Amino acid sequence: MHNRDIVVIAGSTGGFGPLKELLAALPADLQATVFVVMHIGTQTSILPEIFQGDCALPIRHAEDGQPFDTSAIYIAPPDRHLLIENGKTFLSSGAKENFSRPAADPLFRSAAVNYGSRVIGIVLSGELDDGAAGLYAVRACGGIALVQNPAECRAASMPQNAIDAVRDALIAPAAEIGQLISVLLAKAPADLASTDELIRHVADVETALAMRGTADPDELRAIATPSDLTCPECGGVLSKVNHYPPLRYRCHTGHAFSAATLHASQERRSEEALWSVLRGIQERISLARARLETASEEEGRTLSADIKRLSNAESIVMDLLKR
């Protein structure tokens, strides 16, 4: 049986400082490989250079098809999902998950499916819940789940949602996580019998989708049930992923969303739509008032009624925007 030797880490808002502290605490002879996803989007990344100054391990951006070394740290480059399989790193330009690429869930799932009980998954400070489903997969496949204490996080929702998804996750302050990794690596991993094969199967299918970059409709139907929701990225039908938390959805082109991320998107789009409606109403009121200045008596009565009706609608929309 292999020792624990794979560490996957994810962070977002407020995660830079804890990650820097964590990596600096790792010894030069760490008998594991560390993989990191930060929500950097398409921005140019100099994270390896920033972290290298305080870290004893070599740090570099992952490359597609590159064999990875022990006692090394690999960071997901901009605009690419990072996955691991057969001792190599792979980069995917597949659909975004939770509006992010790179995202935590693809990395965590690929680690869970391919390395099982050898994995330690870590979620740091961040907004919403990317990483929660991936951390659940890590734990279901026999790995260890470790989460930064939400009480000290600049953005607590990402670690808190990870804890809600993985009830037996270990919780620690950022200052202790680096040393805790060394302690956990020294312990023998759980027996392979602890793997939940159903969860592993779903995670395996989703890993294949992320690796390939596109979703096969038949594969999606095997793990998800069509819903009446639409994908905010492409407008396709969303299907509810079955069998493990948190509640998540996928579309046929590969986009994936947790319920929390989808809700946040719906709120944002609803607000944008309401502001657009409000602007249209106010412009109609403004035009009606301008026309009223030169209108005939009969037309004036019609315009005045329109202004009153539109003003009532304006009040209703403004009340909705305040909620």
Asked if residue 12 lies in contact with residue 126, where contact means CB atoms within 8 angstroms, the answer is yes
Asked if residue 83 lies in contact with residue 108, where contact means CB atoms within 8 angstroms, the answer is no
DSSP strand pairing (81-85 vs 88-92): antiparallel
Location of structure tokens 């008998």: 31
Sign of CA dihedral 11, 16, 21, 27: positive
Q: Which residue among the candidates 12, 92, 110, 258 is catalytic per the annotation?
A: 12
Distance CA 214, CA 300 (A): 59
* Catalytic-residue membership of 306: no
What DSSP letter does each residue of 5-72 carry, written as one string?
Answer: -EEEEEE-TT-HHHHHHHHHTS-TT-SSEEEEEE--TTS---HHHHHHTT-SS-EEE--TTEEPPSSE
Q: Which helix (H) or strand (E) holds 84?
A: strand 81-85
* Catalytic-residue membership of 39: yes
Q: Which residue among the candidates 110, 117, 129, 130 is catalytic per the annotation?
A: 130
* Catalytic-residue membership of 12: yes
Q: Which residue among the candidates 39, 61, 81, 252 is catalytic per the annotation?
A: 39
What DSSP letter does each residue of 164-222 carry, written as one string?
Answer: HH-TT-EEE-HHHHHHHHHHHHHSPPPPGGG--HHHHHHHHHHHHHHHHSS--HHHHHH
Angle at 285 between CA 282 and CA 288, to 5 degrees: 150
- Supply the residues annotated as catalytic: 12, 39, 130
